[in-house]
Structure formats: structure tokens, C-alpha cells
Structure 1
Amino acid sequence: MSERLVVIGFGPVASSLVEGLLPAVRSKELELTVLGAEKRAAYNRVLLAEVAIGAAEPGHLGMADEPRLRAAGVDLRLGTAATGVDRARRVVHTSGGPVPYDRLVFATGARPVIPSLAGLNFDPHADTELPAGVLALRTLNDALALQAVLRGDGRVLVLGGGILGLEAALAMASAGYRPVLVHHGPAPLGRVVDADGGTLLIRQLEAAGVHVLSGVRATGVQKQDGRFHALATETHGLIHADALLVSTGVRPRTELAQGCGLAVGHGIQVTAQLAADSSGRLFAVGDCAQVAGQRPAGLLAPGWAQAAWLADYLLANPAPHPAASAPDASALPGPQIQASGILMLKGQGLELTAAGTVQAGLFEDPAQQVTVYADPAAGRYLKIVARDRVPTGFLALGLPRTGAELALGFERGTPLPVDPSLLLRLDAPFEDAQAPAAGADDQLCRCSGATYGQVARAVDAGCSTVEEVGENCRAGTGCGGCKERIEELLRIPARV
């Protein structure tokens, strides 16, 4: 008899898992049921801001070919939410009735964190029903609602000073809108910038068209005719706008796993082999999974690596017999994930690259080397914190080549030059300084994890456009920030 496998969730990671399982579905070895709460098949959430400003069409975000999957035999149930899991009877309860399984994969992803403001029905364990005009930009419907506000010349507040809030605000500014970024700290990206870097970052955001309100203590939302009208604050009174974009982080969806007795922490706790318990029947991947104690990365590359590994494992290892114990998979090497702690922000003349922490003072620790360069008039700032000349954190503003070189060195653990100021020559305006070439194993696309070598091989194989390279190795299929580098590789003459 064929095995019954159920996947809860149908985002980009689940879509990748399904693709890996298709051979067994086509051969009838596997009965695959996929439960997607949204009525749309998997799509690229990274580009939702592009849809909101009209720079991308909703149809271009698709990451799954629904008709092809159905034709292959996948039981794809869109608009069907899982409501509970009965591990004893091996049944998933859904809004459309019970679904039996032999093995089950949680790919439930993460939900936006909604702050506990008066006027919002805050619930950390469920999708909050938001008032009209309050958006989280987590779904395509959110993007289309934001697009309607922008096209009506509406004023948009972005609540949150993290990377996602800044990217959304910069996207709106790039299309000529004037978003207002509201956050509680002294500067956006407070965990990665120091005081001076934060001051320059605010100046550059303002120059890019993003109005920044810092030190705001929000208390609630005010509605008019059932729709968002203003953000109530202790510090700035009422801040009026036509929409509030909430960008205050995400939280893994773990309630289904917790409800059936699985261990959860910062996600569904799974082993290095992605197993959620010892039965050999339950697994978790992507933004909902806390793998071997590590918090979910919130990036596509680790999720795709997990999906590829799990697909191979499930195909090679059938579900255990009901009367037999699960095979011991603990000796198997888990998915190999190249984690990156690099943060990059680019848009409207703003170039920021950072990693680690740069909060250390110049004379705080004699064992640390702290290098600072500042040219506020030119919009340039560099701070490097190192130990034994190996960077433990850096911040580069307005220095793209220096930032790129430091990012490579940070990931490799490469010591700094004896005189770190030599790095600044990479961005010298009147010199043809060239950053050292990236190696084949260095990461080019931070969304997919694709390396320079993989892109080069795709080009050698005949790919001639960014889209073709993306189909070959997934580079450029995330946020799009690496497309310029892919285009540079495409312009290099083919090797004979």
C-alpha cells in the first residue's frame, strides 16, 4: 500500500518539499496531501512590498505550478486550515474534515507579531483579526490592500524599526510615496547600529524619502467608521494616517504542534534530522522549526535546504510499520545549512551592511580592536569591532565595496589587515580599486543560499538571463538584491 503523507502549510518551503516528493507521487508510492490555509498556492512573500508599490504583478510571485502538481497526483487542498492533530489515531483535523496520515510534516511557517495596542485583538497563538487599514504585509491580500491606499495618495505609517519595516518604507519611497517610519528606539536597526551609525542612518532614510519618528511609545489605534484613523502614542499624541503597516517581527506557528503534545520553544523542537518526536512519523521544516536548538533563521535558504534533505530522507526511508519502532536516524548528518549573519539594506541611495554587534566603546575592552571612520557629509560611516584581528561585528554605511569585503571576511573568519583603514580604499571615489574576487563557495544569493560557483556553472550551462539562472539554482528568486551581481556574471565571456 502507498504511504499517506500530509504536509500542513503551503509556503515556499513546503512547495520545495513537494517538488522533491513528486517522483514518489507519480509512481503511486506516496499519497501526498497538502493543506494550505490560503486559497493561493505558494508565492514569494519577500516581494510583497514590490506588489504594493506596483513594481511587480501578483501573478509573478508564484512559486508552485498548481495544475502540474494536481496532474501529478498531489491532493492539494487550498483554503483548508488544519485545526488539530490526533497523534494516537494519526489524523489531522481540518476545516474540511479529517485527513489520515502515516507521516506528517509541519511547514506552518510564522505569523506576524501584533503588538498589544488598544484597539487590536492581540493573540500570540492565533492570527489576529486586524481592523481595516491595519496591515502586516504577510499575505498577498495585505499587499493589495496597501496598494489601494497608496494609489489613493494615502499616508502610511510603518510601525517597527527592523529590517522588514525599513525595506517596506524604502520600497514605498522609491515609488514616490512618503511613508512615515515609527519606532520606539533611538534609531532604527537598534541591535546592529551604534549611536553615531544610527544618527547617520536616520539622516539617509530621510534623504531617501522616509520620514522617521524615533522614541515613539505607541499605546493604541484609533478608528473612524471602523477603519484605522490614527496611532495613539504617549510621546507624540495622535499620529494620523490612512493605513498602519505593522512590522514588529514574526512568531513561529507552533500551536498545532503544542496542541498535540510536541515540544515547542522558539519553534517546534526537532532534531538535526528534523524529527519532532521519536516515532519517525512527525517532522517540521522552515520558519516553524527549531532545529537542534537553533532559532528559525527566517530566511528561504535554510528552509529550502531542510526541504531538500527531508524529501530525500522520506523517499529513502518508508514510514515505520505500526508494530515496529522507528529507525534510529540520529547518526545521519542533517541538512547542511550555510547560516549567514549578514544584514544588508539597499535602496534610494542607502547602502548598509552589518553583522555581529558594534556597540562596544573605543576603550571598553583592551582585548578588542575598535576601528571607526566617519564622514557624515559624504554619508559614510564604518565601525569594526575585532578580537585578535578577526571581526566580531561591523557596520558599513555608504561604503558598499568595503561592506562586501567585510561580509566575506566575517563569514570566513579572515583576519583584518594590520591597518584596517586600507579597506576604505575599496570605496575610494577616484581610484579603480577592486575588491578581492569572491570564491566559488562564497554565498552570492542570501535568500536561496546559492553560491558564486553555482551561478557560474549555471551560466556555463547556457543560462543567459537572471530568470534562467534562478530556474537553474534559485539565485535571484528571493528579494532580488543579488540580481546586479548575477548580471555581472552573465556579462563575463563564456569560458572555453
Structure 2
Amino acid sequence: MTRLVVIGNGMVGARFVEDVLSADTAGRYDVTVIGSEGCEPYNRVLLSEVVAGKHDFSALTLPTPDSPRLTVLRGTHAVRLDREDRHVETADAARVRYDRLVLATGSDARVPGLTGLRNREGLTSGVHALRTIDDAREIVAATLNARRAVVLGAGVLGMEAACGLARRGVAVTVVHPAAALMERQLDEDASRVVESAMTGLGIDQRVGRGAVEALVAHGRLTGLLLDDGEVVPAELLVLATGTVPSTALAADAGLAVDRGVVVGDDLSSPTDHRVAALGDCAQPPEGGSGLVAQGWEQSRRLAARLCSPALSATFASGSAKAVPDRDPTSNVSDVVRLKAHGLDVVTMGVCGSQRTDDPAQRTLHLSDPDLGRHVEVVVSGGLLVGATCVGAGPVAAELVTTYTRRTPVPSDPAHLLISALTPQPRGATGSVADLPDDATVCRCNGVSKAAIVSCVHDGAATVDQVAAGTRATTGCGGCVDDVCALLAAVSTPAPGEPTDSPTTSRPREDDVTKGKHMIHSAETAGS
């Protein structure tokens, strides 16, 4: 039996354990997981939804495989890695021996070096990061007494947190030093439209202005001093200033570390082939996206390499066909949907600060700030290579499909805007049920329409049952509405078919309602 130790029990570490136990049909591996948090693994992508009050904590829990070959050590963390003796030492002085080791230590919230943010015990009272389930609990508790909050940083997480706090009735101000909100995804024109929409939600913004000091009185936060001298009063400060890969353990063990743990195409460390790294802590040759979809793809790839030489060779050749239910033409890693109550923002590919002066790219945009709408498309080589959609949900749905399936665009790209903005007649196609069978519905997990339909035919009648059978909806949750639509469509009896057929029972009304009220998607994880 080969001893496989996984350090980290987050979204990627837990998924890798599931993948490797599923792929290990020969029963070669005895798996031990070391997780620093004392709870079951959970969906970190949805923490902002908890802050918003749209999900409770129990809804975030991810399944743990039930296997006699799996041991999970919760509530303890690895403090030392001895590569020579091949063991991991934990905080409670246990020694866990390994033959192969996988680092899935993730990343930590980046805390700026501003005066006043820290005290001897840690963060100043009233100052919170949003990275763990405990962070979310503390922020929710703080909203009971805080009248005014500041969110520092307006990337995807900061925007979601700000909207979540506003939804709880807290007066919110967003402070962001860049010239545009979500500057990785939005240019200044798009940002202005989003800023106007935020004002309508009661959220103030200080864009292009940085913070220089957290103001503290009697040990508690009272406000934030900006670089132009303005003081923004606040009893609650949420830090959304990025993350830092957790690499200390690897560095102390002498593994190659740059920004993350350096790994090759096979996800192994060049320093020690027995050690691999996945997810936020890893630095693969193509770079890290910070999105859970990339970590889950790495999980499938490493599980295949460890358990199936044939699949490993296919992955090594760069083919996506080794991934079950994966549309090989889809690009799941850079579609971003903001899951923020009252804001409709979807971007993909070339957008925001990623824009370059490429003469091969043609850009068209429609901006209508009065209606809160901004749409931009970028075309190159007859394909859609990027898009930005603000306040234009139907347009975004059309463009995501065109982008991920690499559908050739019209010779005049203006038709991408015109056709999408033209109201569709009743009965026009566009439902998820009209997609081809190989179309990807859940982009986080690469689950096709055919896989979901098959799961329904096998007896799944609720979103939870489809999730258990296919993993669809377990990423960012943005495909919930589509899964509900497929449940309804597949469960509707054909003309003349008995209504009591076991394969045609309709989904419960409360299950469809649940789906409609779940997040409308944000691919900070890519679904």
C-alpha cells in the first residue's frame, strides 16, 4: 500500500482526495488528509453569500468520501516537512509518514501594512479578513452592532462583500486605490456604470483613492484615513486586498518556491518528485488564476497521473478529452460572474487591465449609463476572445455560450450586440434544454448537459441529487438555474407518456424555487 498524504482539506484538497479515491480502482493508496480547520471541507467561494444572508453555513459543506482507505486529521496543521525521512510533523507532535505528498495548503488573506490594522493579539477589533468560515461568522456577528462599514479593496470578493453588507442594512463605503473597480475585469467606462449602480444600492465608493491608516480608539476601529485626508467613519472594516499563497511549509522544507510552490506540467516539485502541489499554493508553468476551476482541473490531472498511466499520458499531451464530461473547447478559467445582490456583471477573456494594443483584435462596445448597461465585445480571428457585460444578463448568457464553445462570430461583430439586445419572440430558442448534449452547463466542474440529463434519467429529482451525482452546482453555484431548468424539462412527460413514470417525476416546487433564489453566478470559481 502506498501512503499518500494530503496537506490541506479545502476545496481543492478535498476534491483531490475524492478524485484519487475514485480513480484508484486498484486500491493502491492509503490516504491521510491533514486539515487545519476543525470542520468539514466547505465551499469557500460562497462565503460572501453567507455574509449577504443568502446561505447559511450548513449549505457550504462539501462531502467527504466514505472509504476505509481514508483518514482525515481535522483541527491540526502541519508544522514541519522532513523530506529525507518522508514524514510530516503536525502541531500536536504527531508524525505522519508518506510515500507521496500533495500540498494543497491554499492561500491566506493579504493584510496591508497600514498603521492601526494590527495589535499584539492580531487584527484590531472591528477589522476582519474574509477568507475562512470563521471570518464570515465574525463579520455576520459584527453587523449586529456596526452601523457603518468600509470594504477595503474592490476586486470580485470586495464587491460581493460590500453588496452583502448593504443587504444586511449596514451603510457601506468601498475604498479602492485603482482607477476602476474590479480593474482586472473592468475598464474605467464599465466601472463608472457599476459605480452608478452601487450608488443606487446605497453603497458609497472612493475609487482611485487609497487608505493610509486605520483609526483606533480604546482598542476598537473608528474609521479609515484616506490618502487625500478624508476620514471615513466605520465600526467594521472588511479587508478584500487579495491573497498570498501559503508556502512557508514548502520553503522551510527546501522545496522550490517563488510566489507559490513551483511545480512542472505534471504538478510535481522539481526539487522532489515525491511532492506535488495543487490549487492556490501552487505555481504551475502557466501561472495561477486564483479560480477554483483551475485547482479542480489540476486535481483531476494529478489523480489521473497517480492512478492511470493511460490518462496521465493523455493529460501530458495537452488533451482535455481526459476529463470526464468536459467540453474540450470550453474555457472555464476566465469567465467571471459577480454574485452580488443588485449588480449584474459578467466578464470573460480579454477585458479590463488584461487589454493590450493588439491590432488583430477588434473591439465594439455599447454603453448606456442611464440604463445601467455597458456591453463590450472583443473579436479576433473570427472568434469572440473577450467580453464585458454590465446590467445585461441576457447578453451575457449569449456571449458566454459563444465564448466558451468558440462559436464563429458574424463577419460584422456588431451583430453580437444587436442580436443579443433585440427582444426575443415568445417561444424563441435559448433555453438550456435547447443546448447540444455536449454543451457544458457547470463550468466549474466541466459537467455537460448530457451528464445532467443522464443523472435525472437515473432518478435524480432535486438539485442536491444532481449535485451528488455529477458535482454540478458545487462550485460557484452559478449553474443552479440551468440545472433547475433541465430538471423541469427532462421531468416533463412527453405527449402520451404516463405522468407516473419513474423517470418523469417533476422536481419539487420548493427545489426549483431554491435554485432560482440561489446565486445568479459568479465565476470567481467558474461555474
C-alpha contact 2:23 2:304 (8 A) present in aligned 1: no
Give the 3 Å change call, closer, same or farther, for CA 276–428 of structure 1 in structure 2.
same
Amino acid at match of 1:307: S
Q: How far apart, in 2, do the equivalents of 1:26 and 1:333 lie?
A: 23
Distance in 2 of aligned mates of 1:409 and 1:255: 42
**Change in CA separation of 1:415 and 1:331 when aligned onto 2, cut-off 3 Å:** closer
Query: Structure 2 CA distance, aligned partners of 1:113 and 1:233?
Result: 19
Structure 1 residue aligned with 2:144: 151
Measured after TM superposition, the shift of residue 60 of structure 1 is 2.5
Extract structure 1 runs of 4+ deviating beyond 6 A: 23-28, 328-331
Q: Measured at CA, do residues 384 and 219 of structure 1 come closer, stay the same or move farther in structure 2, by a change above 3 Å?
A: same
Which of the residues 368, 372, 386 maps onto 2:365? 372
- Alpha-carbon deviation of 1:135? 1.4
Q: CA distance change for structure 1 residues 459 and 173 in 2, over 3 Å: closer, same or farther?
A: farther
The equivalent of 1:322 in structure 2 is none
How far the C-alpha of 1:215 sits from its partner, in A, is 1.9
Partner of residue 92, structure 2: 96
Gaps of 5+ in 2: 324-330, 495-527
Q: Is the 1:208–1:348 Cα contact (8 Å) retained in structure 2?
A: no
Query: Are the aligned partners of 2:456 and 2:490 in contact in 1 as well (CA < 8 Å)?
Result: no
Confirm or deny that 1:469 pairs with 2:466.
yes
- Tell me by how many angstroms 1:312 deviates: 4.3
Q: 1-side partners of 2:23 and 2:352: how far apart? A: 52
Return the TM-score normalized by structure 1: 0.85
The one-letter code of the counterpart of 1:304 is W
Task: Give the TM-score taking structure 2 as reference length.
Answer: 0.81
Deviations 1:72-126 (A, max 9, x none): 353322221112212112122221223222211101011112222123459xxxx
Change (3 A) 1:202 1:335: same
Q: Which residue of 2 aligns with 1:12?
A: 11
Find the counterpart in structure 2 of residue 182 from structure 1.
Answer: 175
Tell me the equivalent position of 1:452: 449
- Identify the residue that residue 314 of structure 1 maps to in structure 2: 306
Offset of residue 161 of structure 1: 1.3
Match of 1:141, SS state, is helix
Q: Which residue of 2 aligns with 1:489?
A: 486
Task: Indicate the larger mover: 330-339 or 160-169.
Answer: 330-339
The 5-angstrom pairing of residues 224-243 of structure 1 reads: 224-243=217-236
Do residues 106 (structure 1) and 103 (structure 2) align?
yes
Could you tell me whether the CA contact under 8 Å between 1:119 and 1:221 is conserved in 2? yes
CA distance 1:334–1:262, shift in 2 (3 Å): farther
Q: Which moved more, 1:109-118 or 1:339-348?
A: 339-348
| Match among 43, 53, 70 for residue 74 of structure 1 | 70
Which stretch shows the higher mean deviation, 104-113 or 184-193? 184-193
Deviating more after overlay: 347-356 vs 96-105 = 347-356
SS in 2 for 1:144: helix
Counterpart-to-counterpart distance in 1, 2:383 and 2:334: 15
Partners of 1:375 and 1:164 lie apart in 2 by: 26
Q: What is residue 3 of structure 1 aligned with on the other side?
A: 2
Query: Partner letter of residue 143 of structure 2?
Result: L
Query: In the alignment, which residue of structure 2 is the partner of 1:294?
Result: 286
Q: Secondary structure at the match of 1:489?
A: helix
Give SS of 1:377's match.
helix
Q: Distance in 2 between matches of 1:117 and 1:8?
A: 32
Query: Which amino acid is the alignment partner of residue 340 of structure 1?
Result: S
Contact 1:24 1:30 in 2 (8 A): no
The whole-number CA distance in structure 2 between the counterparts of 1:386 and 1:35 is 46
Q: Which runs of no fewer than 5 residues in structure 1 stay unpaired? A: 123-127, 318-327
**Aligned ranges for residues 97-136 of structure 1 at < 5 Å?**
97=93, 98-120=95-117, 129-136=122-129
C-alpha distance in 1, partners of 2:194/2:266?
Answer: 41
Q: CA RMSD in A?
A: 3.2
User: How many residues align structurally?
Assistant: 474
Letter in 1 for 2:41: A
Q: Which amino acid in the other structure matches residue 85 of structure 1?
A: L
Which residue identity is paired with 2:136?
A
The CA distance in 1 between the partners of 2:315 and 2:32, in whole Å, is: 29
Q: Deviations over 1:39-61 (max 9, x none)?
A: 22211111212323433222222
Q: Which residue of 2 aligns with 1:427?
A: 421
